[in-house]
Chains A and B, each alone.
Chain A
Amino acid sequence: MLDYIISIIPQMLAGCQVTAQVFFLTIILSIPLGLLLAFGRVSNLSLVKHFIAFYVWVMRGTPLMLQLLFFYFALPSVGIRFDDFTAAMIAFVLNYAAYFCEIFRAGIQAIPKGQYEAAHTLGMSYVQTMRRIVLPQVFRIVLPPVSNETITLVKDTSLVYVLAMNDLMRTTRNLVQRDFDITPFLVAGVFYLLATLVLTVLFENLEKHFSRYDQ
């Protein structure tokens, strides 16, 4: 059994690499996009606000699986074709940006009006107020929900198997079917658990760091 596990590790690690790529690219792109959308959502530009609200509704109101299939299979019929990785990234980034937008919006709206007023009376500009006063407080507030989303994303990456991408999930399934042995499922489970454990510890430390001014 141990020999078998060692023999499949290289393939499984290759699958992890695809999974990690999807994960990191989604995080790196969707968090800034989500923040940008959140600023639009709390702005007083009515058209922008409503458009983003609609966008968030669509992205959160339909399954991520459907969105993946749409970008890969449906768009080519109107002449837009992406390779499977690009299609997957578009779906993941647009989907997660919608969730992050809502998280950041709630965070920004949780900052009391008095903070803006104090900054105003101290002569701070809008950008200074956001950068120095509002966002540092928002980051602390949103850390728990962002942590949740991030851990969900680790598991959601497995959805890319519908596009025939050789991520950890698909690699595992292929091995199980080839060898008539369910051990790869267990190994994959351990990989996912390790990834979520690392993230859990990371976010716990971040929360501790940011909550120092609460004590």
Chain B
Amino acid sequence: MKKIEARNIYKRFQNLEVLKGIDLEVSEGEVVAVIGPSGGGKSTLLRCLNKLETIEQGTIIIDGETLAKDTGKGAEYASTEDARRIACKMGMVFQQFNLFPHMTVLENLIEAPVQVQKRNKAEVIKEAEILLEKVGLSDKRDVYPRKLSGGQQQRVAIARALAMKPAIMLFDEPTSSLDPELTGEVLRTMRELAEEKMTMVVVTHEMGFAREVATKVVFMADGYVQACGTPEEIFENPTNERLKHFLNVIKK
């Protein structure tokens, strides 16, 4: 079953065309790595999927529900209520973590399940504690985010997104603002998620992760999907010139 179907996405900022007819399909349990040079539109693509940015043209279907539909003269969005409900089927992890600083780790995790999904608080707390154990931060339950290292904050952010029981997880360069010695712990958590067959889209510069964990790799540059395929096709036998150049540059 398709979890994400994005077709012919166009997005511009004022005069700058950033996405020029992007297609992206993600099936259940797939891990899609999105790679490419900075400024190529990778973040924008993720942000369009959950309506942090709105598209000019194209169709976006998330988990069988239409977020945006191409009418021929532009994209038509679902109602605000529906769009919000559809968008939060996707958990998102940001480069800058974006934890809520005025809430403890546990409060960060239970906020949206209790306030948005109106679930039973005691139950949500129990699940949150299990999630914290999973990301290895049970002992930080009552600590404020500022006291945590970057790697710990990012693992809390992953747990916070998972607390919503999302159908899909989106990651936008989750390790890019971490010191090198802290990226491992975050990548390990993401690997475990992939092993549990979570559907994931990961924008990343960690080629090792893309090669070993991803089931599909998408190479984006200049607002186009330049190449798309299995890790072997992308990394071992690249045919696209732009991709070959990119792989050469990052090897150095």
Contact = CB atoms under 8 A, between A and B. Distances in A.
B164 A123 contact: yes
A129 to B, nearest CB: 10
Q: Residue among A115, A118, A140 with the most chain B CB within 10 A?
A: A118
Q: Residue among B84, B102, B117, B147 with the most chain A CB within 10 A?
A: B102
B88 A213 contact: no
Q: Residue among B51, B96, B101 with the most chain A CB within 10 A?
A: B101
Interface in B89-104: 90-92, 94, 96, 98-104
A204 interface: no
B199 to A, nearest CB: 16
A59 interface: no
Q: At the interface, is chain B mostly helix, strand, loop or mixed?
A: loop
B102 A123 contact: no
Contacts of A200: none
Contacts of B103: 213
Interface stretch (B108-116, B215-223, B240-248): B108-116
B114 to A, nearest CB: 10
A121 B50 contact: yes
Interface stretch (A18-26, A130-138, A144-152): A130-138
A124 B115 contact: yes
Nearest to A113: B98
A212 interface: yes
B85 interface: yes
B116 A117 contact: no
A118 B47 CA distance: 11
B121 interface: no
A114 B87 contact: no
A215 B104 CA distance: 12
B112 A124 contact: yes
A123 B84 contact: yes
Interface of B: 50-52, 84-85, 87-88, 90-92, 94, 96, 98-104, 111-112, 115-117, 144-147, 160-161, 164
Given A112-B98, A215-B147, 13 more contacts: A114-B96, A115-B98, A117-B92, A118-B94, A120-B50, A121-B87, A122-B111, A122-B116, A123-B87, A140-B102, A213-B101, A213-B144, A213-B145
